[in-house]
Chains A and B, each alone.
Chain A
Amino acid sequence: MRDIFIVAIKAIIVNKVRSLLTMLGVIIGVGSVVLLTSIGTGLQAYVEDQFAALGTDTIYVVPGTPFAEGGGVGGQQSVIERTKPVLKKQYLKEILHDNRDLIKDGLLMAMSIKNVKYGDKEKKISLLGTTANFETVYNTKAEKGDWFTKIDNEKKSSVVMLGPTVAEEFFGKIDPIGKKIKIGSKTYRVVGILEEKGGGFGGPSFDSYIYLPLETMYDDLDVQFINNFTLEAKEGVLIKDAIKAVKKTLLKDMDEDEFTVVDQAKLLETINGILGMFTIGLGGISAISLVVGGIGIMNIMLVSVTERTREIGLRKALGATPNTILIQFLTEAALLSITGGMVGLIIAYLGSLALQPYFPAKVTMDAVIMAFGVSTAVGLFFGAAPAKKAAGLSPIEALRYE
C-alpha cells in the first residue's frame, strides 16, 4: 500500500498544474458546501443564543395555530389568524389571576400601524402597546432615557419609547429624549430609546417599533389586534404544567383552534427546523459543484490512464495484478479529491473567520467529517471508471501503445 501511495503522489506531483486544476472543482465544491452550511449552523447557534438571553421560562400565547402543519412562525396562516382579534385584553387578566401559583408575570402586545410625524418627516410605523414590565419580561433596557412606568400606563400618559431604528430614522444625531412626535392626530413625548435587540415575531424587528403604554394606546388609538401574550413562569415551575394551566383558562373563552400556547423550546424548534432546511438547501445547491468537480477528476483520470497505457502494460508484465492497477488509480483519484477537499475545507474555515464580524458562521466537526467523507467518496466514485479501464488493459496491447 505504501508503494501505491508513493506512486500516486508522484503521479500527482509530476503533473502539478493539471493536478491543481483537477482539484479546483473539488476545492470549490467542498469549500462552498462547508462555508454555506457553516453559515446555516452559525445562524442556528445565533438564534439559540438569542433565545437563551430571553430566558427559558417564557411562554407565549399567540392567535391561531401557527405551529400546526402548514403553519410556521410568520407563515401564511399565522399572519391571517393574527389579524383576527381573537386575543382579548381581559384573557390576560384571567390567566394571571387563575394561575397565580404558576405564572409570575405577563404582558400583552397590542399592535397598530399609524402615520408618525416629526418635523417634516412622516412615515407609517408599527406601534406596540404594552405594559412597563416589558423591560423585565423581555430583558430589555433603555439605551437612553427610561422605560415608561406603571403609573404612565395607569394615567394613560402620552409618552413613547422608540426602537433604535425609528429613533435613527426620525432624529438622526439629534437626541430625541423630551422631543414631541405626532402619531395620528395626537402628540406624544419621547421618554426613551430601546437598546438594539433585533428579532421580532415574524414581523418587523423589535428595533423598528414605537412602544406606547397599553392603556394610552387603547384610549387614543384603535388597537388593530393583539399579537401575543408573553408570560413568565415562576421559578421551579414545570413549563409543561404552566402551559396546560394557561390553556385551561383560555378554553373558557376561546375554541381550541383559536390560540396556541408555546414555550421557548417549541419556538426554537420551529425556527431551527426552518434554518435546518435552509442549511440543507444551501448545502444541496453547492453540492452540484462537487459533482462537477468529480466529473473533472474522472476526465483527468481517463486522460492519465491513456497517457500511461505503456506504463500500465509494463507494470502488468512485471507482475502487477489487475487489482493492484485498479487500487493504484483509485488511490490516485481519491488522493486528488481528498487533497482538494482539505484545501476547500481550509478555505471555507478562513472564509468563515472572515465572515465572523458580519455573520455568525461556524465550521463544525460535522462539516469537517462530511468534507473528508464526501471528497473521498467523490474520488472513489468518479475514479472507478478510469481505474477499471486501466485494470482491464491487456499487457500486450498496453506495451504496444504509442
Chain B
Amino acid sequence: MILKINKVSKHYQMGDNVIKALNNVSLEIEEGEFLAIMGPSGSGKSTFLQVASMLAHLTSGQINLKGKDVTEYNEIERSKLRNQEIGFIFQQFNLLPRTSAIDNVALPLVYAKVNNSERDRRSIEMLQKVGLGDRLQNTPAQLSGGQQQRVAIARALVNNPSIIFADEPAGNLDSKSGEEIKKLLIDLNKEGKTIIMVTHEPDDASIAKRLVIFKDGEIVNDSKIKSKKEVEKKNHNIIQDKLSKKTKLKKKK
C-alpha cells in the first residue's frame, strides 16, 4: 500500500461556525492505482487532495505514506516529503512566468539539491517524454495552454515521485489539448505511476480505474470504473440527490 488515509478529518473555523470539510475519511491506495475523485463543489474533494498531498494539515486522523506515519511531520519534513514523494499537476499550471520550460521543470530538483548538469539532463528527458523536446527554452508565454500543462506534468515527474496529485488537470484546456493531457496521464499510469486526480468532469474521470465520490466531507462512493456511462450515472445521481435535497428544503420553506 502506498497511501493510507485513516479516519482523517479537517475542520475550519469560520466565524462562529465549524466547517467540517472532511469528516472521518478513510481511504487506502495501492501502488499503480489511478484514482478519480469527484463530487459537487464543497464536497471536500479538494480539501482531501490538499491533506493527502501534505500541503495542508489535518485536524485529526492519520496519514501513512509508504508505510511511514507522516501525520506529525513539521514544515521542513513536509517540504522534503513533497519534494521527494509527490508530484503536483494544477488546474492553473502554476509555471513560473518569464522562466524557460527547462528551468520550470528543474524547480523540484533545485530544492532536492541535485547538481546542475544532472538537473538539465533529467529536465530535458522529461520534456522529451511529454513531447516538448524542441521547446526547452520557451517561456510559458510562448507556449499554448496544453503545452504549459505538459511542462507542468514534466515538472511533476522530474523528481520521480511515488504519487502524482492532479487537480482538474484538463479543466483549463480546450478539448483537444485536454485529450492530449488525459492520454499522457493514461500512459503514465500504464508505466506504473500512482495518480490521484480530482475532477468534476465524468468524461475526465472515466480515464481512471477507480472512482471515489465525496459528498459533505465524506466518501459516498468507492468503486472500480467499468465505463464512462457508469461514471456519468453515479455522478449524476449524487448531484441530483443533492439538488433534490435543496429543492426539498426550498419546498418546505
Contact = CB atoms under 8 A, between A and B. Distances in A.
Chain B CB count within 10 A is highest, among A318, A320, A396, for A318
B155 A395 contact: no
Interface stretch (A25-33, A181-189, A271-279, A308-316): A308-316
19 contacts: A10-B99, A310-B94, A311-B96, A314-B96, A314-B107, A318-B83, A318-B88, A318-B107, A319-B82, A319-B108, A320-B79, A321-B76, A321-B79, A322-B76, A323-B76, A324-B79, A324-B111, A396-B55, A399-B94
B80 A319 contact: yes
The 3 A-B residue pairs with the shortest CB-CB distance, nearest first, are A319-B83, A319-B111, A321-B79
B110 interface: yes
Interface of B: 50, 55-56, 75-76, 79-80, 82-84, 88, 90, 94, 96, 98-99, 107-108, 110-112, 155, 159
A315 to B, nearest CB: 7
Interface of A: 3, 10, 14, 310-311, 314-324, 394-396, 399
B96 A319 contact: no
A322 B55 CA distance: 13
Nearest to B50: A396
A324 B56 CA distance: 19
Contacts of A319: 79-80, 82-84, 108, 111-112, 159
Nearest to A324: B111
Contacts, number: 52
Contacts of A10: 98-99
B56 A396 contact: yes
Given A322-B76, A324-B111, A396-B55, A317 B96 contact: no
Given A311-B96, A319-B80, 20 more contacts: A10-B99, A314-B94, A314-B96, A315-B107, A316-B79, A317-B88, A318-B82, A318-B83, A318-B88, A318-B111, A318-B155, A319-B79, A319-B108, A319-B112, A320-B79, A320-B111, A323-B76, A324-B79, A324-B111, A399-B90
Chain A CB count within 10 A is highest, among B50, B80, B112, B159, for B50
A395 B55 contact: yes
A10 B50 CA distance: 30
A204 B88 CA distance: 81
Chain A CB count within 10 A is highest, among B75, B90, B108, B155, for B75
A314 B88 CA distance: 10
A323 B88 CA distance: 21
Chain A CB count within 10 A is highest, among B79, B84, B88, for B79
Given A3-B110, A311-B96, A322 B75 contact: yes
A160 B193 CA distance: 107
A320 B75 CA distance: 10
A347 B75 CA distance: 45
B225 to A, nearest CB: 28
A396 B52 CA distance: 13
A322 B77 CA distance: 11
Contacts of A323: 76
A395 B55 CA distance: 6
Nearest to A391: B75
B80 A318 contact: no
A314 B252 CA distance: 46
A310 B107 CA distance: 15
Nearest to A319: B83
A354 B90 CA distance: 58
B245 to A, nearest CB: 28
A322 B75 CA distance: 7
B97 to A, nearest CB: 8
A316 B110 CA distance: 12
A319 B107 CA distance: 9
